[in-house]
Structure 1
């Protein structure tokens, strides 16, 4: 870790934050670090008001010693074996990241990924910008866009006159050139 504009240092985490809310947080950058750190726990059951136990707090307090023993036992197992999320958590987390991955959706919908594909950065960014605006997604800067493409395994490339682009990705429907040279038939 490091503080803003300071040297790196090592630390031992003291807690694991839990966010509880009605809406899932919006994530702009889906990368391996985020996928490693975040788990979505789906709460799929709502107890109707007529079936809620008005004495639940009282019942839980009566069982507090057993509940504490169960929690300590679970903590010890977690320390020994690590966290193994259940299939429902893994599935919900994968679905969430797919829904939040705007760049991934754009790549799937608008691009081809082949080793010999080449595109200029400006062409890709223009198409991304149009798609993102129409989809209500965050556009960001061309530099951020380029950095995110690199994290997806796309390589930087320059054409013969030094204009920047990417190799390994191309648009499914390439843009029409701004001008077409005159040609006699």
Structure 2
């Protein structure tokens, strides 16, 4: 539902209908080499009405009631470098592996059978704390997001390998986008649209040349030809 190429568009629409009225959406679908579909991620995690359609039925829309939990052994790649995408990701690593000799079979059932009142009291305390203070993100998770973002920053890698900052340079946006498209093709990624590309350059600190005397250009960036064909 959230990675590229797993379902057809029509099947993805039908998958979305399963979120209607759900409180927790648990998704198990990550494999090595998967890449997030940024459009689908934003749609599924939106706070606005979501459009969907069941098989052989009319389209409908609904207000989201769910929180999305994606589990897997591999972190999917990310092509969307914008803050609007990254604020939706909260990676939680379960790094502790219990040795086989120490594992307890049916531990969840034993806890419920033996300690349910204590578990309920703990849950109530947590709910009250959440109502009072909200749901903060711990510092280790913030650091994990930054590390994840840096590791999957294809746009930043292109800037490092194929361009240089030069306050005197004015480079045509079309030439920059051609270089970016070539870089994405080599990396097996999609380049997106030139408008979004230019917006990302501005977000990274470059400026649009408002004169447009020599076409649409970006100020402060020059191509270096940093990779071979």
Q: TM-score, normalised by structure 1?
A: 0.74
CA RMSD for the aligned pairs? 2.8
From 90, 98, 108, the equivalent of 1:47 is 98
Q: How does 1:95-134 map to 2 (within 5 A)?
A: 95-134=147-186
From 32, 36, 43, the equivalent of 2:83 is 32
Corresponding residue pairs, total: 168
Larger RCO (alpha carbons 8 Å, 6+ apart) = 1
**Per-residue deviation, 1:169:** 2.1
Counterpart in the other structure of 2:217: 165
**Per-residue deviation, 1:114:** 4.3
From 96, 102, 115, the equivalent of 1:63 is 115
Distance, in Å, in 2 between the alignment partners of 1:17 and 1:42 is: 16
Distance, in Å, in 2 between the alignment partners of 1:19 and 1:98 is: 20
Does the 8 Å contact 2:50/2:64 carry over to 1?
no
Relative to structure 1, the CA distance from residue 114 to residue 82 in structure 2 (aligned partners, 3 Å threshold; closer, same or farther) is farther
Distance, in Å, in 2 between the alignment partners of 1:168 and 1:65 is: 63
Give ranges in structure 1 of 5+ residues lacking alignment. Answer: 5-11, 175-185
Distance, in Å, in 2 between the alignment partners of 1:89 and 1:162 is: 46
Distance, in Å, in 2 between the alignment partners of 1:80 and 1:160 is: 53
Counterpart in the other structure of 1:9: none
Question: Does the residue aligned with 1:77 lie in a helix, a strand or coil?
Answer: helix
Greater gyration radius: 1
From 74, 78, 90, the equivalent of 1:23 is 74
Relative to structure 1, the CA distance from residue 115 to residue 79 in structure 2 (aligned partners, 3 Å threshold; closer, same or farther) is farther
Question: Does the residue aligned with 2:160 lie in a helix, a strand or coil?
Answer: helix
**Per-residue deviation, 1:120:** 0.8
**Per-residue deviation, 1:135:** 2.6
Does the 8 Å contact 1:42/1:88 carry over to 2?
no
Does the 8 Å contact 1:154/1:169 carry over to 2?
yes
Q: Provide Cα deviations, 1:106-155, integer angstroms capped at 9, x if missing partner.
A: 12332223443321112212221222223333222333322332333432
Q: TM-score, normalised by structure 2?
A: 0.62
**Larger strand proportion of the pair:** 2
